[in-house]
Structure 1
Amino acid sequence: MNLKNLNIGSLIKDSVSKNEIDISRICNFFNCTEKEVLEMYSSPSLDTEVLLRWSKLLEYDFFRLYSQHLILYAPQSSMEYVQKKKVDSSLPAFRKNLYTKEIVEFVLEKIKKGEMTKSEVITKYKIPRNTLYNWLVKYNE
Structure 2
Amino acid sequence: MLYKEIHIGQFIKERVAEQEITMERMCNFLHKEEEVVEELLASKSMDTELLLRWCKLLEYDFFRLYSSHLILYAPPSAVNKNHNKSEKIPYFRKNIYTQEIKEFIIKRILSGEMTQSEVIREYSIPKSTLHRWLQKNNTINE
Structure-2 residue corresponding to 1:23: 23
User: What is the identity, as a one-letter code, of the residue corresponding to 1:128?
Assistant: P
Residues 43-52 or 90-99, more deviating = 90-99
In structure 2, the residue matched to 1:126 is 124
Greater shift in the superposed pair: 15-24 or 108-117: 108-117
Give SS of 1:77's match.
helix
Change (3 A) 1:78 1:43: closer
Listed as ranges, the gaps of 5+ residues in structure 1 are none
The answer to which structure has the higher helix fraction is 2
C-alpha distance in 2, partners of 1:140/1:98?
21
Structure 1 vs Structure 2 CA RMSD: 1.9
Tell me which amino acid in the other structure corresponds to 1:20.
E
Instruction: Name the residue aligned to 2:60.
Output: 60
- Per the alignment, do residues 99 and 52 of structure 1 end up closer, same or farther by CA in structure 2, a change over 3 Å counting? same
Matches within 5 A, 1:1-141: 1-77=1-77, 84=81, 86-89=83-86, 90-140=88-138
What SS is found at the alignment partner of 1:86? Answer: helix
SS in 1 for 2:32: coil
Retained in 1: the 8 A contact 2:71–2:94? no
Q: How many residue pairs end up in the alignment?
A: 138
The 3 A distance-change label for structure 1 pair 43 and 69 is same
TM-score by length of 2: 0.87
